[in-house]
Chains A and B, each alone.
Chain A
C-alpha cells in the first residue's frame, strides 16, 4: 500500500433502510460494515450480484445517504456527519454516472442546461462562460455542438450516456463514480462508452469507482476489484489476481460463471447451492455460508473479517490465509 492517504476511505460503514414506519422491525441491511480505501488515480471495480449493496456503497461514499454507523473520509477528512451545506467541496470533487441515462436526466431540460446545471449550482460563472465549457465538454465526449439546444430524448442511449458523462465532468471532479454505466446500453455501444471513460480517466487523471455485475467489463476497466456479497466486501485484490487466483469461495464461483468462449479453457462450474439470503433477515456468521460449498462449523457462529492474506490481497473467509 502506498503511504499517501487514500482519496476515499470508508470504515465499518453500515447502512440500514427502514421499511415503513408501522411494519415492525423490517430493516434492510444494505451495508454491513464495509472497510475499503480508494487510492488516488486508480480504478476500483465493485462487482457482485443484484442487491449486494454496490450502488448503496457508491451513494454512501458520495454521502447521498446518511450512514447508520461507520465513517466516510474524503481526502482524510471525516465527512460522515457533515451537513449538506458543508458538503459542497465533496459535491464538487465527486460526480456520478448512473445506469440509465434516460432516468438520470430531467427530460424537460435541454442538453445545454443539463450540462451547465452543476456549474450553475457550484460556480459563479456567467452564461457565456458556462456555454463555452458545455460546448467543450460536448466535443470532448464526442457529440456535435448542435446537441446543445436539443433534448435528451432526441439521442440514442449511448449518446445520452455521453451527455451524462459530460455533465459529470463539468465541475472537473477528482472522483468519478460510475454506477453500472453501460448495463442499460446496447452491447454494440458499450465498448465505445467504456473506451471513452478510460480515455477520460487517463487524460484527466481521475479516480474512478466502477460498479458492474458484468465481470468481464470490470476486469477490462479496473486496477483493483472488490467483490461484494450481501452488503459485505468478500474479497479485494488487483484485478489480475482476482481473476486468476480467486481465494474466496464466492469469488471462485463468480469467476467460474464467466462465459468462456474457448471450450478448452472452461473452468468447471461451481454449483451454487441454496437460495440467496434476504438482506432483511441476515444469516448469522458468514453471510455466504448458506450458499458456500466449503462451509465449516465456524462459519455459522463467527463472521469472518476482511484480512490481508497476501500483499494487497484481502479476503474475508475462515478457510483462507
Chain B
C-alpha cells in the first residue's frame, strides 16, 4: 500500500492543475527550471577545458577531475593544457582531435589578443558571443556562472530562512503565551539591525566567501518569515481538527508537521518566488557596490559596475547583463504571480 501521507491531496492537485493553466507562469517555471539545470552542468558548455580529447588513440575527458598537464599531449609545459592551442596543434600534426565546448572560455580566464586591449566586442570567430569584459574575460561565461551562483545562493537562502521561520513561527502561534511574546520582542529588536550595513561592514573588513555570506543573510533573513506563519497558525490551532488530534494524544511536533504546516504552506509557497527574486537582486546590488562575494567570483553586480563605467566604449557588457537580469527576474515574477493566482481562493482572475 502506498503511504497516504505522501500522496497529493485533492486541493494541492487542483492548485497544481490551475498553475499549469496559467500559461506564462507555467512556461516561465519550465524555462527557469531548464536554465537552472543547464547552469548546473555549464562546465560542459562553457569551459576552457575540452569535453573530449583524442590523442594517439586514447580518449581524455578533462571537464571534471584533476588538471591534465600539457606534457600528456606532447606539449612542452607542466601546467594545465591550453586546449584551444592543443586543438590547433593536433590538427596540424594529425595525432588526434579536440572537442571544445560551445564557448571555449572559462569565467576566470583572461583572453588577450595581440596589439589590442580588452574589452573585445562580440564576435563569432573568436567565440566571444557577447564579447569580453574590460580585462578580457568572456561575458557569456561570466553571466552563466554568475547566474548559477546567484540562483543557488538565493535558493539556499530562501529555503533555509523559510524553514527556520516556519518552525519558529508555528511554535510561536501554537504555543502562544510567553514564548510568543518573548520571540516577538526579540524579532522586533533584531529586525531593527540594518542588515545591509552589517553586510557592508563585514564585506569591507574581509571579503566573505559563499558560505559566510549565506550565513550572514540567513542570520538576518529568518525573522521576517515568521509573521505570516505565526498568524496563520493562530487561526488554525483553534480549529476542531487540532483539538481532535490533541484528544488522540498527538505530540506538538506531530500536530505542527502533519496538521498545521500543510495548511499554512499556502502563504509560504506564494511568498517563495518573490523572496528568491529579492535575494538575487540584493546579492547583485551588494556585488555592484563591491561588498559582495570575493572579486574573481563571477557575478552580475560586478558586471553591471564594469558595464556602467565602460558603457560608451563597450556597450555590450551593460546590455547583456541587464537583459539577462531582466529576463530572469521577470520569469520569477511570472512564476510568483501564477502561483499566487493558483492558490487564490477567489480564482476568477482574467488573463489577457
Interface residues of A (CB under 8 A from B): 59, 62, 64, 84, 87-88, 91-92, 94-96, 98-100, 103-110, 112-113, 117-118, 121-122, 127-128, 131, 149, 151, 153, 164, 167, 171
Contact = CB atoms under 8 A, between A and B. Distances in A.
B259 A149 contact: no
28 contacts: A59-B243, A84-B249, A91-B247, A91-B248, A91-B249, A95-B248, A96-B243, A96-B244, A98-B244, A103-B239, A105-B244, A106-B241, A106-B258, A106-B262, A107-B11, A108-B12, A110-B4, A110-B9, A113-B4, A117-B258, A121-B248, A121-B249, A121-B250, A121-B254, A122-B248, A151-B9, A153-B10, A164-B244
B11 A98 contact: no
B50 to A, nearest CB: 52
B263 A118 contact: no
Interface string B142-165: 000000000000000000000000
A100 B244 CA distance: 12
Interface in B224-260: 239-241, 243-251, 254, 258-259
Contact of B249 (A87, A100, A107): A87
B125 interface: no
A302 to B, nearest CB: 37
Contacts of A110: 4, 7, 9
B248 A118 contact: yes
**Residue among B12, B250, B263 with the most chain A CB within 10 A?**
B250
A131 B2 CA distance: 11
**Residue among B241, B243, B246 with the most chain A CB within 10 A?**
B241
B189 interface: no
B240 A98 contact: yes
Contacts of A92: 249
Interface of B: 1, 3-5, 7, 9-12, 239-241, 243-251, 254, 258-259, 262-263
A149 B1 CA distance: 11
B240 to A, nearest CB: 4
B249 A113 contact: no
A64 B245 CA distance: 11
A105 B239 CA distance: 9
A64 B9 contact: no
Nearest to B251: A121
B243 A117 contact: no
A200 to B, nearest CB: 18
A117 B241 CA distance: 12
B234 to A, nearest CB: 13
A149 B245 CA distance: 20
B12 A64 contact: no
B128 to A, nearest CB: 53
Contacts of B245: 106, 117
Contact of A107 (B4, B9, B250): B9
B12 A103 contact: no
**Residue among B4, B243, B247 with the most chain A CB within 10 A?**
B247
Contact of B262 (A108, A151, A167): A108
Given A96-B243, A117-B245, A171-B248, 14 more contacts: A98-B244, A99-B240, A100-B240, A103-B239, A104-B241, A106-B245, A106-B262, A106-B263, A108-B11, A109-B4, A110-B7, A121-B254, A122-B248, A122-B249
A84 B239 CA distance: 20
A217 to B, nearest CB: 20
Nearest to B244: A104
Contacts of B1: 127-128, 131
Nearest to A101: B240
Contact of A113 (B5, B10, B248): B5
Contacts of A109: 4-5, 9, 258
User: What 7 A-B pairs are tightest by C-beta distance, nearest first?
Assistant: A91-B249, A104-B240, A113-B4, A108-B9, A103-B240, A118-B248, A98-B240
**Residue among B9, B11, B254, B259 with the most chain A CB within 10 A?**
B9
A104 B241 CA distance: 4
Contacts of B9: 107-110, 151
Nearest to A148: B4
B259 A106 contact: yes
Nearest to B242: A106
A149 B11 CA distance: 15
Contact of A98 (B4, B12, B243, B249): B243
Nearest to B5: A113
B247 A62 contact: yes
B222 to A, nearest CB: 26
A94 B244 CA distance: 11
B196 to A, nearest CB: 35
Contacts of A105: 241, 244
Nearest to B9: A108
Contact of B246 (A64, A99, A149): A64
Contacts of A112: 4
Nearest to A153: B10
Contacts of A117: 245, 248, 250, 258
A96 B247 contact: yes
Nearest to A91: B249
Contacts of A104: 240-241, 243-244
A125 to B, nearest CB: 14
Contacts of B247: 62, 64, 91, 94-96
A209 B240 CA distance: 18
Contacts of B241: 103-106
A62 B249 CA distance: 11
Nearest to A130: B1
A164 B241 CA distance: 10
A167 B241 CA distance: 12
A56 to B, nearest CB: 12
Nearest to A110: B4
Nearest to B247: A96
A226 B240 CA distance: 24
Contacts of B254: 121
